[in-house]
A and B are shown apart, each in its own frame.
Chain A
Amino acid sequence: EDQVTQSPEALRLQEGESSSLNCSYTVSGLRGLFWYRQDPGKGPEFLFTLYSAGEEKEKERLKATLTKKESFLHITAPKPEDSATYLCAVNRYYAGNMLTFGGGTRLMVKP
């Protein structure tokens, strides 16, 4: 059974204080790992897809990396508007485009 575990569950940062969120996964035949951002009361918004170990993707202050067992979402010099819940999800071979999600990390950035 596919498993996705995110840590920490919640993270408080000061504006400008860089940090990383972790997503550990167990899946037989990873086809893709996805990161989403979810604001309160809204649906998740797609950020990145990573396909293979060593791959990196960047978007503004966010950089996602992938190893064979985990993915990291690095946040450089965060701003209050980066406050949200960040979700990680995996897709495996022979599962169509269905995703298994982790529990998310709630990020709070204080000015």
Chain B
Amino acid sequence: SQTIHQWPATLVQPVGSPLSLECTVEGTSNPNLYWYRQAAGRGLQLLFYSVGIGQISSEVPQNLSASRPQDRQFILSSKKLLLSDSGFYLCAWSRPHYQELNSPLHFGNGTRLTVT
């Protein structure tokens, strides 16, 4: 079966510090990978998605970036955090659409980031 891991679970960082959140998926190959952000009491906003190693698409311009150095590894980064970067960050995977049309997204348990 497939599993997805995100870490850390919680993080408190000062403004201007760097960020690195990591996500790995097990039990599947060539997954689509996603980073979402969820503000308090609000829906999920897609930040980045990737259909393969080194292939990243950004949905929202901001000071965050994403990388996919390996097939099942997805990293969210920032060089300098802003207060507005606080939120709940979720990584997700799905089968690519050529394998399964309408594959649901499967989420990790998220990272609660507080920028102080």
Contact = CB atoms under 8 A, between A and B. Distances in A.
Interface of A: 4, 31-32, 34, 41-46, 49, 51, 87, 89, 91, 96-104
A97 B103 contact: yes
Shortest Cβ-Cβ A-B pairs, 7 listed: A43-B107, A32-B102, A103-B43, A101-B44, A101-B43, A46-B104, A97-B94
Interface stretch (B13-21, B64-72, B76-84, B108-116): B108-116
B86 interface: no
A32 B101 CA distance: 9
Nearest to B88: A41
A103 B95 CA distance: 24
B24 to A, nearest CB: 14
Contact of B43 (A42, A43, A104): A104
B35 to A, nearest CB: 12
A91 B107 CA distance: 16
Given A87-B44, A98-B49, A99-B105, A43 B32 contact: no
Contacts of B92: 43
Give the contact-size bracket for chain B: 20 to 34
B104 A49 contact: yes
Contacts of B103: 97
Contacts of B97: 96-97
B51 interface: yes
B104 A34 contact: yes
A57 to B, nearest CB: 12
Contact of B90 (A4, A43, A104): A43
A42 B109 contact: yes
A34 B44 CA distance: 13
B50 to A, nearest CB: 11
Nearest to B10: A41
Interface string B1-14: 00000100000000
Contacts of A97: 32, 94-97, 102-103, 105
Nearest to A5: B43
A70 to B, nearest CB: 16
